[in-house]
Structure formats: structure tokens, C-alpha cells
């Protein structure tokens, strides 16, 4: 086994020793019962000794287990002290910060705030990756994710900054040409089947028949541009469309939405200096635009 796996197995061992049962240790570690059993068995096999006796009252350390327990506690204390020292060193506000988000946030929401962030923290370089699918913060493919989701995975920590309202819009000539026509009578541009799991897709299916959708695309940012070009009505984020004078709202915001803007990081990174600086700054910056993001900002 490599050093990382060795320490991971020791963490499982310490948890069982503290909790006295596999199920309690599993709950604490956020894994299932069989994972804990497998990791303890791997550690016992690697060391060639039995570490626990399974008794009616729970898992009890053997003599060898007690020996390892003392060593493991010392290892844990040493690692905790090192972590504190290193986190203090990383409190310097500089370095590269990797942020992943979706196209509409990267193109239409973040830039003005990144410019202000740069003025305050000139030592931090921000690398933004546009990806509809979440990059893994656990594998350190990114440090921070800004996502449009209902609820984030349990492995990440952060906060919901705002809702994100969507409403039907059209380019001004298209809106004037349709006059008082109902939404169902207009031609539409929409998102493709990759969005079928979203409230956008549910709203479209409940409002517009498939034959009225004349254009589909797998990007909301591209959809905005298609609507601006006059391809048809489109369900767009109010935070973008309300700032575009060549677009007009042609209906009320959709009500069936659980979309929120989440600012997320991995729990092991949340106190890193540059990560903390970005989280705190963007929480204030994006929180200050809540009326616009939730569709109460009105047309630009």
C-alpha cells in the first residue's frame, strides 16, 4: 500500500476505536458499513495482526490494536499541527485560483466582479474553466465551483447566493411582430435534450409544443444570442436578458424553478487564503445583485 492508503486505513481504524462500532464509524466518515469493514480488514492484513475483537457490546481493541491506537493518535496530532502551520503559511493572499462555472455566469455575470476582485487582490490569478458538468473539487480539478443547481453534493461546502429567474423573451422586432399572440403560437428557440432534467425543460414542455421549437442548442449563452438574432422566443435568465436593450420580456418569469447560484469549494480548501478571499468577495458581490438575478431588476 502507498502512504496515502496507509493513512486512510488508519483513519478508519481510529474512527472504529472511538465509536466502538462499524455503523457508527461509517456514519461519522460518510461511507457505508462495508467500506469500513473492508478498510479495517486491509489494515489487519497488511500488519498481520487482529486489531479488534467483536464483542456483544461492540468492537474492542486487542493488545495489538491498543499498541497501534497509541501510535495512530500521535500521528493524528502531528498531522493536525502540520496542517495548522501550513494553513497559516497559505494565508498569504496570492497564487492561482481555479474556478469552474457555466457559460452564462462566466460570460455575463463574473467579468465585472472579477475586475473588482483583481483590484483588491492583485496577487491572485484567476483561471476560469467553463463546464456544464461539474469538475471534481475533490480531485482538485478546480478550487471553487459556481453552479446553477438545486442542492449541492454533500462532499462540498458553500452557500446559495441567490435564486436565478428565467422568463420568456424575444428580440424587439419579433416581439412587435407577434403582438398579442400567445406564447404557444410563436416560434421558439430552446435548449436540447441535455437539459431535460432541468426546470427550463419542464416549463418549455408545458408551454410550447415540439413543432413550435425551430432551433435547439446545448448552451444557454448560445440560446441568448439566438433569441437576440430573431430566431424566436426563448426562455432566458432575467439577469442577462434584462440588461440587453434589444430584448423584451414577453411573459412572466417561470414559477417552477429550484435553480440557485451556489458558491462551492471542498471542505479541505475553505480556509486557504485565496479561496477564502474569493468566497467572501463573491458572496457580497453576487448577493448585491439578487434583485437582478431573481428577475426583479427590470429591463436595462
Q: Count how many residues are written for the chain.
A: 300
pLDDT reading at 249 higher than 90: yes
Indicate if 166-249 has the same CATH topology as 95-164+259-293.
Answer: yes
pLDDT reading at 58 higher than 90: no
pLDDT reading at 232 higher than 70: yes
The mean-pLDDT minimum among 74-78, 94-98, 237-241 falls in: 74-78
Going by C-alpha positions, the residue among 12, 2, 64, 3 that lies closest to residue 34 is: 12
pLDDT tens-digit profile of 7-51?
778 889 988 998 888 888 888 777 888 999 999 999 999 899 999
pLDDT tens-digit profile of 101-132?
988 899 888 999 999 999 999 999 999 988 76
Mean pLDDT computed over 134-155: 71
pLDDT at 268: 77
pLDDT reading at 72 higher than 90: no
Query: CATH: 3.40.190.10, 3.90.1150.10, 3.40.50.300, 3.40.50.1860. Which one for 95-164+259-293?
Result: 3.40.190.10
pLDDT at 85: 55
Per-domain boundaries in the chain:
3-89, 95-164+259-293, 166-249
pLDDT tens-digit profile of 84-109?
555 544 455 788 899 999 888 998 88
pLDDT reading at 267 higher than 80: no
pLDDT at 4: 45
pLDDT reading at 194 higher than 90: no
Which one is predicted more confidently, 256 or 208?
Answer: 208
pTM of the prediction? Answer: 0.61
Mean pLDDT computed over 49-65: 90
Mean pLDDT computed over 220-229: 93
pLDDT at 108: 87
pLDDT at 1: 42
CATH architecture of 166-249: 3-Layer(aba) Sandwich (3.40)
Which one is predicted more confidently, 60 or 93?
Answer: 60
Mean pLDDT computed over 210-222: 92
pLDDT reading at 299 higher than 60: no
What's the CATH code, domain 3-89? Answer: 1.10.10.10
Residue 94 · residue 274 · CB < 8 Å: yes
The mean-pLDDT minimum among 72-86, 148-162, 169-183, 254-268 falls in: 72-86
pLDDT reading at 62 higher than 70: yes
Can you tell me which residue has the cell 482538485?
140
pLDDT at 132: 63
Amino acid at each position: 500500500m502507498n502512504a496515502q492508503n496507509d493513512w486512510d486505513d488508519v483513519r478508519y481504524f481510529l474512527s472504529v476505536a472511538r465509536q466502538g462500532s462499524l455503523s457508527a464509524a461509517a456514519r461519522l466518515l460518510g461511507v457505508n458499513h462495508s467500506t469500513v469493514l473492508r478498510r479495517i480488514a486491509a489494515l489487519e492484513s497488511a500488519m498481520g495482526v487482529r486489531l479488534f475483537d467483536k464483542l456483544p457490546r461492540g468492537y474492542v481493541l486487542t493488545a495489538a490494536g491498543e499498541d497501534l491506537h497509541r501510535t495512530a493518535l500521535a500521528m493524528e496530532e502531528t498531522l493536525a499541527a502540520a496542517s495548522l502551520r501550513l494553513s497559516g503559511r497559505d494565508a498569504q493572499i496570492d497564487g492561482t485560483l481555479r474556478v469552474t462555472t457555466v457559460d452564462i455566469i462566466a460570460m455575463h455575470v463574473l467579468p465585472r466582479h472579477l475586475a473588482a476582485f483583481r483590484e483588491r487582490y492583485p496577487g491572485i490569478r484567476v483561471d476560469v474553466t467553463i463546464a456544464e458538468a461539474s469538475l471534481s473539487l475533490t480531485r482538485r480539478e478546480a478550487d471553487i465551483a459556481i453552479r446553477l443547481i438545486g442542492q449541492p453534493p454533500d462532499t462540498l461546502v458553500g452557500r446559495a447566493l441567490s435564486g436565478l429567474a428565467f422568463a420568456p423573451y424575444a428580440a424587439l422586432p419579433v416581439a412587435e411582430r407577434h403582438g398579442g399572440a400567445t406564447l404557444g403560437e410563436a416560434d421558439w428557440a430552446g435548449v436540447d435534450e441535455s437539459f431535460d432534467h432541468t426546470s427550463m425543460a419542464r416549463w418549455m414542455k408545458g408551454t410550447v409544443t415540439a413543432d413550435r421549437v425551430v432551433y435547439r442548442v446545448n448552451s444557454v449563452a448560445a440560446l441568448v444570442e439566438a433569441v437576440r438574432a430573431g430566431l424566436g422566443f426563448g426562455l432566458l435568465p432575467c439577469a442577462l436578458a434584462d440588461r440587453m436593450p434589444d430584448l423584451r420580456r414577453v411573459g412572466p418569469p417561470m414559477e417552477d424553478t429550484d435553480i440557485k447560484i451556489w458558491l462551492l469549494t471542498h471542505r479541505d480548501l475553505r480556509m486557504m487564503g485565496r479561496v477564502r478571499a474569493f468566497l467572501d468577495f463573491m458572496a457580497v458581490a453576487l448577493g448585491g445583485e439578487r434583485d437582478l438575478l431573481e428577475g426583479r431588476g427590470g429591463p436595462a
